[in-house]
Structure formats: C-alpha cells, structure tokens
Amino acid sequence: MHRPQSLGFLLKEVSRRYVARFEAQARAISLTLMQCKVLVHLERTEGASQARLAEITEVEPMMMVRLLNRMEGDKLIERRSDPADRRARKLYLTAKAKPVLEEIWRLAGLVRGEMFEAVPKSDREVFARVLEKAHRNLCALERDPAAKIGASRKPRNRPQRAALA
Amino acid sequence: MHRPQSLGFLLKEVSRRYVARFEAQARAISLTLMQCKVLVHLERTEGASQARLAEITEVEPMMMVRLLNRMEGDKLIERRSDPADRRARKLYLTAKAKPVLEEIWRLAGLVRGEMFEAVPKSDREVFARVLEKAHRNLCALERDPAAKIGASRKPRNRPQRAALA
DNA sequence: ATGATATAATATCACTTGATATTAAATCGC
DNA sequence: GCGATTTAATATCAAGTGATATTATATCAT
C-alpha cells in the first residue's frame, strides 16, 4: 500500500478518492460533485444558456441536460425560455439553491482540509499553481492539432467479440 | 476559459485530461491507462493472484477480471492455475509484454513532460510530494470510520422515476 | 474430521456515460 | 428574402462501470 507510482496513475487515483470523499460528505444534500460544480458556476453566470454553461464547466452538453433535468426536478435551478433565441433556455438558481451553495463551499473547504492535512501552506500554493499550469498545458494540447495522434478508436476493456474472419 | 476554480474541481479536470491525453498517445498500442497500470504493477509482482493485483492497483476485482480478459486475449498476460490454491490464478507477463512496457514508460514520460511543460523541477517535486501526501490522507480517511458519514445512497444524475406515492 | 465462515474468480444486472442522430430555430452567403 | 449551414437542446443507443450474487475452494473453530 502507498508505494510510489507513476505520477499520472497517482493523479487519477487521488482525483478518484477526492471525488468519492466529497460525494460521501455531500450525500446530506444529495448532490454529485458535477452537480455542485454546475451550481457553483451558474451562480456566477445566471441567465446563461445550457450550451454556455456546458462550455464553462467543461461538461458534455448531453450530460448537462441530465444534470439540469435532475436539479430542475429538485427545484434547485429553473429553465426559462430565452425571448431572444427560441432554441435556448436561460438558467437560473432558485431561492432553494442559495443555502445549498453555502453548504457546497463548506464541504469543499472541509474535504480540501482533509486532503491537505499536514501539508504546509506554501506547498499547497505551489501545488495549486502547478495544477493550474498543468490544466492550461493540457487544454492547449487538446486544441492544438500539433502533437500528431493517430485516428483510430479508443481501446476497449472488454474482450472484443472474436473476429470471425 | 482557464478561470481559477475550486481546487477539487480542478483536480478532477486535470486528471480527466491527463488520462485522455495518455490514452490518445497510447492508441498506438491499443491500451487504456488502467491496462497500462496493471501491466506496470504486474511486472513487479509476477505470479501474484488477481485479487492481490487488484489490491495493489486499487482496481475493483470485477474490473480486474475484465482487464485481464482483454489483455489475455491480446496475449500480453497469462493466467496459470495455482497448484497451492485451486481457486486462484497466478498472473504472468508474456514475452510480448516486455516491449509494450518500455513503450508505456516512454509514453508516461512523454505525457508527463507535456503536462509539466514550463514547470520548474523544484515545483514538480513539491507537486509530487503533495500528491503523495494527499493520497495517504485520503486513504486513511477511507479506512478510518472516524469522519461520520451518512448511510444513504449515492445520488443519481438522472431524474429519479416520479415516485407514485 | 466437519460444519461455518471467508475468499478467489466470475456472472449478472442496473446505472452511468459518451457518441451520434434528431429537431427546431438561428445565422450566413448571396 | 431564401436556401445552406450552424447551433441549442434533447433522444437514442452502445459501451463502461459498480454493486451484488454465485460458485468453487480454502480456512477456521470445535
């Protein structure tokens, strides 16, 4: 247990455990981390369309539809039709969402504290800066067609059907 | 784009993009990151059972079955029955796996370099240390029943079926 | 030794997630 | 203005993933 491993494997593992921990704590408000993320971003962009919010939160549009369906049912958000674009729906938080947002921030701080237990402040700051830089680097690679990558399909985990050829 | 956000949200996002980038590069060898992780760990524990390898790699046993089914079909690993325990199957790398492992390490280094582009070495080291500490902290929380967490189910993203009551 | 319990591997099923298709309405080129 | 293209939201379907059940075998307590 705890043996050092490739940084990439570790990064994925820490992320997975962080999400699990956050969601364990967030069960009291019955929200997933993604739902919380959407609420947090929506607070700063009320009136945005689903497409805009999907872009900001880096969530697939179809996933956004599902998250919003759920949260609309929970009366946390409202979809109002946009008079300027009859395709779009403008998004708003409900009054019920306000205290939920406070709780989200409380939980975020709580779990961050648990994760960084015994990590000095200066190290946390370096960590945050590196993480932000890594994010920018990876985003740039995604947009940039520079790094040549083959065009084949993503590999599967399950055994492929035995090729009958 | 790139606006600062909660560290937890960011962590998940960076992890997701790292995995996507790694797997884009790994398409040439038709392996997912999880498959690579299993191979890497298996190299150091040849002869281990599936349960043992699942434990080491922090992969669910059922997922391990599926990964191994796939990789056995690809002739990267072998399952041999254990004479000392007729339930278990001991795992071994095939000759075909050796060059694949070298390629995995090459890709891991490549993508790490891309991710940490323009990040000074000392910051990378701090980042790695903090990540390892965060991992240990989160692992401890999982085992430890200390932090009281409710017993309800994980919330769903999809709208729950309208309760007919 | 023998029944009770635990463990290894796997099957099954339900739920999640991602890719693609669909539909309606906007915008663009002319 | 009008057809071609793009975009917003959503539906549909296939594949991934996790929880639990299953089966065979091992271990433990007596």
What are the tens digits of pLDDT across the range A82-102?
A: 999 999 999 999 999 999 999
Query: What is the predicted pLDDT for the residue at A154?
Result: 73
For CA atoms B127, B133, B134, B136, give the dihedral sign: positive
DSSP A85: E
**Using CA atoms, how far apart are residues B16 and A15, in angstroms rounded to an integer?**
9
| Interchain pair B124, A147: CB under 8 A | no
**Using CA atoms, how far apart are residues B102 and B91, in angstroms rounded to an integer?**
19
pTM of the model: 0.90
Per-residue pLDDT of chain B (165 residues; tens, 9 = 90+): 445 568 999 999 999 999 999 999 999 999 999 999 999 999 999 999 999 999 999 999 999 999 999 999 999 999 999 999 999 999 999 999 999 999 999 999 999 999 999 999 999 999 999 999 999 999 998 876 554 444 556 777 755 544 333
What tens digit of pLDDT does each residue of A7-32 get? 999 999 999 999 999 999 998 999 99
CA of B39 to C1' of C5 (A): 34
* Residues of B whose CB is below 8 A from A27: 149-150, 152-155
- Residues with Cβ within 8 Å of B2's Cβ and at least 6 positions away in sequence, in order, are A132, A135, A136, A139
Do the bridges between strand A85-93 and strand A77-82 make them parallel or antiparallel, or are there none, so unpaired?
antiparallel
Query: What is the predicted pLDDT for the residue at B2?
Result: 47
> ∠ CA A109-A113-A119 to the nearest 5 degrees?
140
Residue B32: nearest nucleotide (C-alpha to C1')? D16
Cβ–Cβ < 8 Å for B100, B29? yes
Query: What is the predicted pLDDT for the residue at A145?
Result: 54
DSSP A91: E
Query: What is the predicted pLDDT for the residue at B14?
Result: 96
| Interchain pair B18, A24: CB under 8 A | no
Length of chain B (residues): 165
Q: Token digits for A111?
A: 């779990």
Closest B-chain CA to A36: B9
- pLDDT above 90: percentage of residues in chain A: 80
Taking 70 as the pLDDT cut, the residues of chain A under it are: 1-5, 144-153, 158-165
**Using CA atoms, how far apart are residues B161 and A82, in angstroms rounded to an integer?**
28
Cβ–Cβ < 8 Å for A138, B21? yes
**Using CA atoms, how far apart are residues B99 and A46, in angstroms rounded to an integer?**
53
- Residues with Cβ within 8 Å of B155's Cβ and at least 6 positions away in sequence, in order, are A23, A26, A27, A30, A31, A32, A35
Å between B16 CA and nearest CA of chain A: 8
Pick among B157, B158, B161 to test the A interface (most A CBs inside 10 A): B157
**Using CA atoms, how far apart are residues B29 and A4, in angstroms rounded to an integer?**
25
Q: How far apart are the first and last CA of chain B?
A: 44
With tokens 């399952």, the residue in question is: B79
CA of B143 to C1' of D28 (A): 25
**Chain centre distance of CA A109:** 16
In terms of C-beta density within 10 A (0-12 exposed, 13-18 middle, 19 or more buried), how is residue B113 classed?
A: exposed
**Using CA atoms, how far apart are residues B7 and A119, in angstroms rounded to an integer?**
15
| Interchain pair B131, A27: CB under 8 A | no
